[in-house]
C-alpha cells in the first residue's frame, strides 16, 4: 500500500550554493521560477516529485549545474499542477 503525504514542500526563487532536493520532502510545489545562479548547483534525487504552477520553470545560469538522478523504479517526472508533463525514459 502506498503512503500519501498530507503536505507538500514549497520551493522556488534564486538558488545560491549547492542545494539538494530529496524524496523525504517531496512533493515540491514550484510556484516561483527557479533560477540557479552562476557557480551554484541544484541536485534532484531519485523519487522527487516537482509540481510546477502554470508558466513557472527552471533557469540554469552560465556555469551553474542542474543534476537530476533517477532509478529505474523511480523515474524522473516534471508535473504541471498534478499532470505529468515530462517523464524520463528507462
- Examine residue 27 and say whether the peptide bond preceding it is cis (omega within 30 degrees of 0): yes
Mean pLDDT by runs of 10 across the 90 residues of the chain is 62 96 90 96 89 91 89 64 65
Edge-to-edge strands, sheet with 65-68: 18-21, 41-44, 65-68
pLDDT value at residue 2: 44
Q: What is the pLDDT of residue 52?
A: 87
Amino acid at each position: 500500500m502506498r503512503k500519501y503525504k498530507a503536505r507538500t514542500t514549497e520551493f522556488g526563487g534564486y538558488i545560491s550554493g549547492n542545494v539538494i532536493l530529496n524524496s523525504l520532502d517531496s512533493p515540491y510545489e514550484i510556484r516561483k521560477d527557479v533560477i540557479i545562479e552562476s557557480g551554484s548547483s541544484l541536485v534532484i534525487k531519485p523519487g522527487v516529485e516537482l509540481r510546477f504552477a502554470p508558466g513557472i520553470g527552471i533557469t540554469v545560469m552560465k556555469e551553474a549545474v542542474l543534476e537530476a538522478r533517477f532509478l529505474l523504479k523511480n523515474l524522473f517526472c516534471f508535473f504541471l499542477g498534478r499532470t505529468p508533463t515530462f517523464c524520463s525514459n528507462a
